[in-house]
Amino acid sequence: MSAPFTPLLRARNLLIGALLALSFGPIVQAAGPLQPLLVANQKSALKVLLEVSGELKDVPYEIKFSEFPSASPLGEALNAGAVDVGALGDAPYVFALGAGAALKVISITHVDGRYTTALIVRNDSPIKSVADLKGKRIVTGRGSIGHYLAIRALNEAGLKTSDVNFVYLLPSESRLILDNGDADAWATWAPYTTVATQNGARILPNGPDLLTNHSYLAATRSAIADKRVQLDDFVVRLDRAYRWANAHPAEYAAAQTKVTGLPLAVHLAVNQETKMERVSINDGVIEGLQNTADIYQREGILNKHVDVSRGFDPGFNAIRLAAEQSAEHTANQATDPTNPQAAR
C-alpha cells in the first residue's frame, strides 16, 4: 500500500519538481500550445517591472496586459473573470473578496520602504502629531490603503474616525486640495508620498507596524485550475523581477519615469529606499488581512463580515521558495573564489 499523500509530502514533491524545472528550463512545456495569461496591470506597473528586468523574454506563452487606472476597477475585472491575475493591496483585495470574487492570493511581496504609506501635512501646518488631527479634514481614497493607515493611526493616537472628517478623492485631486488648504492632511502612498515631501510637505509620525505593506498577487480560481503551468512560471518571473529591481534602482527608475511622467528623482528616491521581499502564505499573513477586514467592518466601510481565509492558495509557496534558493545558490557559486567556474 502506498503512503498517504499528505500536504507535507505534496509540498516536498512540488519543491523537487520546481528545482528540476529550474534546472532544465523555465517551465515544462505542456502538450500543445499554452493559453495566453491575462494580466491586470495597474498604471503599467507590472509590465514595466517585467520588461526592464528582462523577464518578458523567452516566455513560452503569451502575456496579455490590460491597463487599469486604480485598484478598484482592477479588482472588478478579476471578479468578472475578464483577467486571470493581478496585484492588489490589502484593502482592495478585502473589498474584492467582500464582493464575492472567486479569487485566491497565489504570491505575496512585502514592500519595505520609507514612507510607502503615510499621513502628510503641508510644511506650514500647525499639525505636529496624529492627535492634532481631531476635528480636521483628511483626504484619501475610500477603502484605500491610505484610508486604512489613517484609521489605524487615529486609533493609536486615541481618536475615533468620527473625530475627523474624511474627504474621499483620487490622488491627483487630493494633492490639490491639500495644497490649497481644503484638507488638513493627506493619507497616501508612494510615489505620492515622495512627490509631496520633495515639494516641502511633512510626514506625520505614527506608531510602527500599522500596516503589513504587502502586495497580493491574486488569480481567479478558473485560472488556477486551467492555467497552472503559466501561473507557476509567472510568479517565479515576478519574484526574479523584484530581486532585479532591488539591485538596479536607477535602471528601474528610468523605465518607470518614461511611463508615469514623474521626475526621475522621484522614482529613484523611492527605489533606493524600498526593498521587495518574497513572503510565504501562512496563518500569520491570513490573520493580518483578517484584521484589516474586521476593522473595515467595524468602521462601516464593509457592510458584512468577510472571511479572508478562503482567498489564499499556499500551493505556490514551494515553487517560489525553490526558485529563490536556486538563485541564491547560483549567485553564491558565481562569487565563490574556490569555484573554478567563478573565475571564468
Q: What is the pLDDT of residue 335?
A: 64
Q: What is the pLDDT of residue 325?
A: 92
CATH code where residue 99 lies: 3.40.190.10
Residue 233 sits in the same domain as residue 96? yes
Residue 241 sits in the same domain as residue 317? yes
Residue 104 sits in the same domain as residue 123? no
Does residue 288 surpass a pLDDT of 50? yes
1: in domain: no
Residue 86 sits in the same domain as residue 131? no
Higher pLDDT residue, 266 or 28?
Answer: 266
Does residue 342 surpass a pLDDT of 90? no
- Which range of 24-38, 77-91, 231-245 scores highest in mean pLDDT? It is 231-245
Give the mean pLDDT of 310-335: 88
Give the mean pLDDT of 29-37: 77
Range of the domain at 146: 117-203
Residue whose C-alpha cell is 557559486: 333
Residue 226 sits in the same domain as residue 315? yes
Q: What is the pLDDT of residue 340?
A: 61
Q: What is the grid cell recorded at 288?
A: 493580518
**Integer Cα distance of 177 and 260 in angstroms:** 22
Per-residue pLDDT tens over the stretch 188-207? 988 899 999 988 899 998 76
4: in domain: no
Please tell me whether residue 208 adopts helix, strand or coil conformation: coil
Does residue 19 surpass a pLDDT of 80? no
Share the mean pLDDT of the chain.
87
Give the predicted TM-score (pTM) of the model.
Answer: 0.83
Residue 219 sits in the same domain as residue 303? yes
Residue 319 sits in the same domain as residue 231? yes
Q: What is the pLDDT of residue 200?
A: 87
**Integer Cα distance of 22 and 20 in angstroms:** 5
Residue 195 sits in the same domain as residue 219? no
Number of domains in the chain: 2
Q: What percent of the chain is predicted at pLDDT more than 70? A: 87
Per-residue pLDDT tens over the stretch 115-134? 788 999 999 999 999 999 99
Q: Lowest mean pLDDT: which of 53-57, 98-102, 107-111?
A: 98-102
56: in domain: yes
342: in domain: no
Q: What is the pLDDT of residue 339?
A: 67
Residue 101 sits in the same domain as residue 230? yes
Do 274 and 266 meet the contact criterion of CB atoms below 8 Å apart? no
Residue 311 sits in the same domain as residue 295? yes
344: in domain: no
In sequence order, the 6+-apart residues with CB closer than 8 A to the CB of 185 are: 119, 120, 121, 125, 127, 133, 136, 137, 138, 139, 150, 178, 204
62: in domain: yes
Q: What is the pLDDT of residue 337?
A: 65
Please tell me whether residue 136 adopts helix, strand or coil conformation: coil
Amino acid at 8: L
Residue 217 sits in the same domain as residue 97? yes
Q: What is the pLDDT of residue 172?
A: 83
